[in-house]
Structure 1
């Protein structure tokens, strides 16, 4: 197909490297702000989901973040030890564990708004550019997460 990128082994031609470099740069920008909150980036993602909707199950959190329980469980244990969340077996399904914010966990939400504001400022994008980039990245994620078929349609 003439309108698709040509295969290459040059680093600068790789979309994966551009994404990797961008991800590292964004995460590095978050690090000092999250250090002040006492959170790692993955912990911050969990906290954002709980600020959206408290009392989610481990399974719900893992599904939204695309993390397995082997990765998520230690992270939740650290948040529990830090006094930011509690974990309880659900009464309606004892196989399921519900994660609840503590008062200290809820209090961090206001600091998260500051982090979001600072990151938006660092990006220097218009609303349209911001929304377009998020949409493109979601499309990319959906395409590479599908059945592995490499054809565009």
Structure 2
């Protein structure tokens, strides 16, 4: 009988606007190539993925505009906080994602960053942009759920 590891997940940052602006079709998990001072900064929740996006170039995935400010106790090299960082995915996953991107006119949207078993992971999703009336409908449904919960 196989043993199952207890995967401890600690969420660092979430992109709350992503599910509001996009209809997420499927999600993926990827590791990231980071420097030591960036890991320390992420440990102290100093990361922002609000304006970031995932891009696939030459069969490699990158996250662009993810802001990891400089770790204040770091004395080594000063890295650009907005530099592009490589995502670690299998080639088969990248091919499947690029095929979906080309055929369905979708976007890759970062959803959250978290620690999983000591590694920093990024969850991103294939999303289709919502129209204004879709956003209004989502707000209406959310308000109705809140109202129903309050009446109980």
TM-score, length of structure 2 as denominator length: 0.28
Greater percentage in helix: 1
* Bigger radius of gyration among the two: 1
Q: Which has the higher contact order (CA 8 A, sep 6+)?
A: 2
Q: Please state which structure has a larger fraction of its residues in strand.
A: 2
